[in-house]
Structure 1
């Protein structure tokens, strides 16, 4: 028996097509997610998200005359704890990379079923980086390519005094390693015998100390430092 009910997942749906936007919002609500708002374009998305503070923003990239990438950056500037899951008709690699670089936590194409979409929203709320199959490898591959192009090995750059990893506690480092391996906060809690909220607190503290915005950036950071290698 649970000692407390699970955290409620609040969602905002952003899409410039009213029928699609309303349909997705209705389907998610029917599956137990609380849709607190919808928005048709980037300026409205930033404004409404700031007012309603959803846990997850489900967002298209093509928003008519505006672009979802601008909305992602705008929302995260105001609500750094919010997680953004892109749901787009485009599977173009550059669109995926642009969204992730702006701060998106994941990326699905619109061919996903409602069951897949619901699961993705829940996993995003729980701290996972969720991608349509094949896209996660693209993102991590790009991060590795950028690291190589920048001349970074992930292990030898800079002195210890300059390494922000040294500001992390041992437990925060443990959590960082598991986040980078793709584990959700609940999975990490089980592995480390911690509460879900304690794991989330460690993640937020790590993001703050490393000046990062989301778990995708944490994963890149861990790859750069070799923290994903098995000992």
Structure 2
């Protein structure tokens, strides 16, 4: 997927910030389809323009970016939400992820970091500002501490497990291909095969599964 094909919507209640982010993305080749100033407008407009990625602020005045995230990801499963927030509070990060956000980026990020984060989010990769990824990993590991019902996990090949381990570490398919000396297509095939075996839907869920099973650890 090239940047020119990635459509985005920017949601923020501060017009100067909102317009600035939209301008930065447009100048870097993204298709900025819409902006919104509050949660209800974001949900309504997203249903119409169906962007690939929604950049979502959490503090939208009287409305909640978390609830807007939940509604958008429920109504539009193909649309990814990347939170762009000034808050690094652990509770905010975890609530956003639980609501369906694919990633969480601090507003202190540079334009280069923002562009890379939007591109990776559109590709299905979980993206987090440094320091926040560990928080999310720890939470999913804690949630997985209590085993369910003793069902036997699906059997993955050694190569599928290798790929899954790198997915958990946040590497892109191309980076994984370089690490394992495989073609990009072969890595994608392993990812799709693993998704089918685990009955998961996307790379974000795949990363969560890997984290829950400790595959992000060396």
| Global fold match (TM > 0.5) | yes
Q: 1:124 aligns with which of 121, 124, 132?
A: 121
Determine the C-alpha separation between the residues in 2 that align with 1:203 and 1:23: 37
Q: Structure 1, residues 30-58: CA drift from partner, whole Å, max 9, x if none?
A: 11111111111111111211211111111
Q: Which runs of 5+ in 2 are unaligned?
A: none
Tell me which residue corresponds to 1:193. Answer: 183
Matched ranges for 1:1-231 at <5 A: 8-148=5-145, 151-152=146-147, 158-160=150-152, 163=153, 165=154, 175-188=163-176, 191=180, 192-195=182-185, 199=188, 202-203=191-192, 206=195, 210-211=199-200, 215-228=203-216
Mark the CA change 1:188 to 1:51 in structure 2 (over 3 Å): closer, same or farther. farther
Q: Structure 1, residues 3-22: CA drift from partner, whole Å, max 9, x if none?
A: x9777111110111112111
Mark the CA change 1:87 to 1:142 in structure 2 (over 3 Å): closer, same or farther. same
Report the 3-state secondary structure (helix = DSSP H, G, I; strand = E; otherwise coil) of the residue aligned with 1:120: helix
Of stretches 88-97 and 124-133 in structure 1, the one that deviates more from structure 2 is 124-133
Q: CA deviation at 1:23?
A: 1.2
Contact map agreement 1:127 1:185 (CA 8 A) in 2: no
Contact map agreement 1:176 1:203 (CA 8 A) in 2: no
Q: Which runs of 5+ in 1 are unaligned?
A: none
- Give the paired residue count: 216
Mark the CA change 1:5 to 1:99 in structure 2 (over 3 Å): closer, same or farther. closer
Task: Give the structure-1-normalised TM-score.
Answer: 0.79
Determine the C-alpha separation between the residues in 1 that align with 2:216 and 2:85: 30
Mark the CA change 1:169 to 1:45 in structure 2 (over 3 Å): closer, same or farther. farther
Mark the CA change 1:200 to 1:87 in structure 2 (over 3 Å): closer, same or farther. farther
Contact map agreement 1:10 1:55 (CA 8 A) in 2: yes
Q: CA deviation at 1:217?
A: 3.3
Q: Structure 1, residues 109-146: CA drift from partner, whole Å, max 9, x if none?
A: 11112222112111222222221111111110121222
Task: Give the structure-2-normalised TM-score.
Answer: 0.83
The alignment yields a C-alpha RMSD, in angstroms, of: 3.1
